[in-house]
Amino acid sequence: MIEDIKTLPLYINGHFINTKKTFKNISPVTGQVLCEVSEAGMDEVDQAVRSARHAVDHAWGKYHPSQRADLLDEIADGIEKRFEEFVQAEVADTGRPIYLARTLDVPRGIANFRTFASILRAGVSESVDSLIGDGSRLLNYTVRKPLGVVAVISPWNLPLLLLTWKIAPALAAGNALVCKPSEETPSSAALLAQVIEQTSLPKGAFNLLHGFGNHSAGAFLTQHPDIDAVSFTGESKTGSHIMAAVAGGVKEVSFELGGKNAAVVFEDADFDQAVAGIVKSAFYNSGQVCMCTERVYVHRTIFDRFVQALKQQTEALIVDLPDTENVDLGPLVSYKHRDKVTSYFELARQEGATVITGGGIPVFGDDRDKAAFVQPTIWTGLPDHARCVTEEVFGPVCHIAPFDTEEEVLVRVNDSKYGLACSIWTENVSRVHRLTPQIHTGIVWVNTWYSRDLRTPFGGTRLSGLGREGGQYSIDSYSEITNVCIKYS
């Protein structure tokens, strides 16, 4: 079990390796050291990339899709067998409510592998038979081949879910992987390496490195000349650095980056449904989800009523330790991240915000005060150009502003350097079809939020990302696609 390991190792070419250089994994609940973590240097990164190259060239890359599907199911089986260990690893690192780990994170990790195994077994057959000018016929068909060695860098907010969201399709496409989870949340990735080590996946097809970004494993990995692609989820600024690092080799990139997502509540919306939806979309996982809502626009005719209802429901949320019954919000992932979020609390006051509720750190008067808690917070009264309305906070915050017309709110929703997600709350179907094509985001939800079918495209525009993931879109993004054209008469 992970909690019995004093130092989390690297996993390279089928072997667990401890390094002399380590860093501490700190609990956001107690502030205590959970364990030490081996940090990969340039030598370990090079070993991992070379082992991945050997695997994709000589073993794993030559597996038939049905064989790869069997391996994905084998990994899913391994996670299921150690389900509760994964739950505890996620909760220990993130401080998230235990019910989220049990109902979302670990089940979704399993589903990621199952989903892409099913897609492989279903297969994709694409062919075109055409007649050309001289009377000959052409048969065109598509072949998908692995990109090769893929560097996978995943974030801390949904550690297992987002890591497996990349690993499963990348392996499905036949690639070999070198993965680096966030230094904030390494435990579930280390546990996944234990699971994979017990499967029949060829050595080198999956490698795990721990470390940081600059001057550490992340930078060494993205700058390595023998990687073929990078899949990254995290901050937009880091994504731009990675793009610069791989630009010389014109290497494939897939980015899922930040967001400053909007929600629009029209006067005809189901009022109670919309209030509950905004509470969830603003404060889910303490606001630490790239798709969370930080900008809320409410039609002026229901604005005051909506603000009061949202305040009431927000103040009813339970902020407590992860294993507390009916807990809604746990602590933030780290004390460093809490400092960032609370700096926006102060900035909002400087910018002239009205604090409807929250805006501080809760005081319990017991050991809970050691945890990285913040209060769920609602602001009003800020102009659209205020930093708290334009910059991603990535915490349990939202700003609510009134609007009058469709045309006005559409401009305000699109007035962002981000473009990940938006939600619309209305009963007017014509309005939905009129507005959604004009919203510059990769996802538009209508009368819901965070609803996902794993086969549908996911991704953002502008600073929110590059490329699409989900179902066959993921397989294609991790594949070299070749058209074969045969003249046959």
Task: Please give the positions annotated as active site.
Answer: 256, 290
Closest by CA to 398, choosing from 417, 384, 380, is 380
Computed over its alpha carbons, how large is the radius of gyration of the chain? 24
371/358 Cα distance (integer angstroms): 17
410/171 Cα distance (integer angstroms): 40
224/259 Cα distance (integer angstroms): 29
291/338 Cα distance (integer angstroms): 19
- Coil vs helix vs strand at 156: coil
Q: Give the amino acid at 295.
A: R
Q: Give the amino acid at 338.
A: R
Locus of tokens 């979302």: 104
**CB neighbour list of residue 364: distance below 8 Å, 6 or more residues apart:** none
**CB neighbour list of residue 454: distance below 8 Å, 6 or more residues apart:** 111, 112, 115, 470, 471
Task: Retrieve residue 41's tokens.
Answer: 């240097």
Q: Are 317 and 376 in contact (CB under 8 A)?
A: yes
296/378 Cα distance (integer angstroms): 10
Dihedrals phi, psi of 191, to nearest 5 degrees: -65, -40
Dihedrals phi, psi of 149, to nearest 5 degrees: -95, 120
Closest by CA to 162, choosing from 94, 242, 222, is 94
3-state SS of 403-414 is: ECCHHHHHHHHH
